[in-house]
Amino acid sequence: METVSGKRTSSDLEIAEMLSQQDGDMVQTHGMIYSIKDMGDFGFVTLRKRNGIVQCVWNKDTCNCDIKSLGVEYSVRVKGSLKKDDRAPNGLEIHLTEVEVLTTPKEAPGINLSKRKLGVTLEKNMELRPITLRNVRERAIFKLQEGVVKGFRDYLMSQGFTEIHTPKIVASGAEGGANIFKMDYFGRKAYLAQSPQFYKQTMVGVFEKVFEVAPVFRAEKHNTTRHLNEYMGLDLEMGFIDSFTDVMEAETGAIKNIIKTLNEEYARELKILNVTLPEVDEIPCVRFKDAKEMVAAEYGRKIKDPYDLEPEEEQLISKLFKEKYNSEFVFVTHYPVKKRPFYAMDDPEDPKYTLSFDLLFRGMEVTTGGQRIHDYDMQVEKMIAKGLNPEDFTDFLMIHKHGMPPHGGLGMGLERFCMKLMDESNVRVASLFPRDLSRLTP
């Protein structure tokens, strides 16, 4: 009887394992050929491994294969003697004795994947995405993204939050408006979830503190550098809050842990991408109304839209708080009722505003959050005031009817957060396979 027991099957070494060997030891590893430099009797073959580049030195007298028989994107297994060298990528070289070709491509890619920066247009990059992601700089973005999610998740778990998975096919939208994708569900009209809002609030009644990392779908018809039609939402929701400041504290804790995680576990990617992480000690808070006025005064602007922040205002608020308080983050609080959804709790001290916030990071909103209505009558009343029919929300209102603690939460856009982390100017670079008005492939 053949069995499997979860053991390691390969004797190919990882980079870290080779680094723990001695100079001159024979090592075996695998990789995809990233670049070849053929100088006649000798040459260099660099391998792309999952977490770094390894330089192999080829010499016609000592290696069993002809360098001319190799090509980029070949998958190979190699053997050779180890030489540690601080100048080489990842501190080592392999002096090849054997190369076994595992697979060969049909055609070489039309672009040089091993350049430090790809140097293609965004359009071209997106079109050739399955291949361009193999560039070491391109892929580092998504390793860093993994670290952001890890830092977020680890922190929340350490604080007693429960990870949940809620449906993406839904019967009604949580955020209102026309930006919702429609679909047919066995003859019934259905939608793709614009956010896990109803479900995460529901789960506060169950687990008190919950979070979800999942795709979010927005049928926004504008083509901008900061919108995606499908993105990853980092959502949390928490009960028994004293005010929405508790939610901002939770986010600040999560962001501090994201930065700590990146510093400790993703140093390689930070270096490849030349990322300067923000320092986060205390994040300043400013009221929406005050922020608008401060920026108008400081930079001589006219306030055009009193109910929302224009992108340029977000940039200027960030600039001002960076200059005055040396903070790359700023919480803008108390948004107008008019611009917040029906589940947002109004400020009892001034019911034109809500107990809500956005987090700006380096000039852009990366999070929206706030306290939610927990009282049944108050929620029904606000639905009606917003022109909605409470009968369309019977399932959601079940939680208010049967009791909810005071609660609040937030949603952060992963790609947008990563974009600002890397000081990139287009959110698409932080999405593996972006979905926008014109892109449904690859």
* Binding residues among 239-298 for a copy of itself as defined by CB under 8 A: 239-242, 245-246, 248-250, 252-256, 280-286
| Among the listed residues 24, 105, 119, 306, the single contact to a copy of itself using CB under 8 A | 105
Does 116 bind a copy of itself (CB under 8 A)? Our answer is: no
Minimum CB separation of residue 152 from a copy of itself in Å reads: 12
φ, ψ (nearest 5 deg) of residue 83: -135, 120
Binding mask 183-202 for a copy of itself (x = CB under 8 A): xxxx-x-x-x------x--x
Task: Give the helix/strand (H/E) hosting 15.
Answer: helix 15-19
Does 39 bind a copy of itself (CB under 8 A)? Our answer is: no
- Select 140 or 275, whichever has its Cβ closest to a copy of itself: 140
Minimum CB separation of residue 315 from a copy of itself in Å reads: 20
Contact status, residue 96 vs residue 63, Cβ threshold 8 Å: yes
| Among the listed residues 124, 325, 336, 386, the single contact to a copy of itself using CB under 8 A | 325
Query: Which range in 36-44, 135-143, 299-307, 344-352 contacts a copy of itself by CB under 8 A?
Result: 135-143
| Among the listed residues 279, 308, 377, 423, the single contact to a copy of itself using CB under 8 A | 377
| 247-250-254-256 Cα dihedral, nearest 10 degrees | 110
Does 63 bind a copy of itself (CB under 8 A)? Our answer is: no
Contact status, residue 97 vs residue 400, Cβ threshold 8 Å: no
Site for a copy of itself in 13-32 (CB under 8 A): 14, 30, 32
d(CA 238, CA 406): 9
d(CA 357, CA 36): 53
Contact status, residue 417 vs residue 329, Cβ threshold 8 Å: no
| Among the listed residues 40, 87, 106, 302, the single contact to a copy of itself using CB under 8 A | 106
d(CA 16, CA 4): 26
C-alpha closest to that of 283 among 312, 311, 316, 245: 245
| Among the listed residues 53, 88, 120, 149, the single contact to a copy of itself using CB under 8 A | 149
Query: Which range in 35-43, 53-61, 66-74, 299-307 contacts a copy of itself by CB under 8 A?
Result: 66-74
| 170-195-157-153 Cα dihedral, nearest 10 degrees | 120
Q: Which two tokens stand for residue 11?
A: 């004797």
Minimum CB separation of residue 316 from a copy of itself in Å reads: 17
How many binding residues for a copy of itself (CB under 8 A)?
125
- Select 88 or 133, whichever has its Cβ closest to a copy of itself: 133
Does 120 bind a copy of itself (CB under 8 A)? Our answer is: no
Does 319 bind a copy of itself (CB under 8 A)? Our answer is: no
Site for a copy of itself in 341-370 (CB under 8 A): none
Amino acid at 425: S
Does 437 bind a copy of itself (CB under 8 A)? Our answer is: yes
What length is written for the chain? 442
- Select 275 or 283, whichever has its Cβ closest to a copy of itself: 283
Minimum CB separation of residue 334 from a copy of itself in Å reads: 11
| 326-331-335-341 Cα dihedral, nearest 10 degrees | 150
C-alpha closest to that of 46 among 18, 27, 22, 74: 74
Would the CA dihedral through 299, 303, 307, 309 be positive or negative? negative
| Among the listed residues 130, 177, 306, 311, the single contact to a copy of itself using CB under 8 A | 130
C-alpha to C-alpha distances, 331 to 112, 175, 248, nearest whole angstrom: 43, 21, 8
- Select 42 or 325, whichever has its Cβ closest to a copy of itself: 325
Site for a copy of itself in 74-93 (CB under 8 A): 74-75, 77
Binding mask 203-242 for a copy of itself (x = CB under 8 A): x-xxxxx----xx-x-x-x-------xx-x------xxxx
C-alpha closest to that of 289 among 325, 345, 332, 337: 332
Contact status, residue 86 vs residue 52, Cβ threshold 8 Å: no
| Among the listed residues 53, 88, 133, 294, the single contact to a copy of itself using CB under 8 A | 133
Minimum CB separation of residue 301 from a copy of itself in Å reads: 22
Q: Where are the beta strands (DSSP E) in 104-208?
A: 162-163, 169-170, 182-185, 188-192
| Among the listed residues 401, 423, 425, 426, the single contact to a copy of itself using CB under 8 A | 401
Q: Where are the beta strands (DSSP E) in 312-405?
A: 329-333, 356-361, 364-371
Minimum CB separation of residue 24 from a copy of itself in Å reads: 25
Contact status, residue 125 vs residue 142, Cβ threshold 8 Å: no
Query: Which range in 20-28, 90-98, 167-175, 416-424 contacts a copy of itself by CB under 8 A?
Result: 167-175
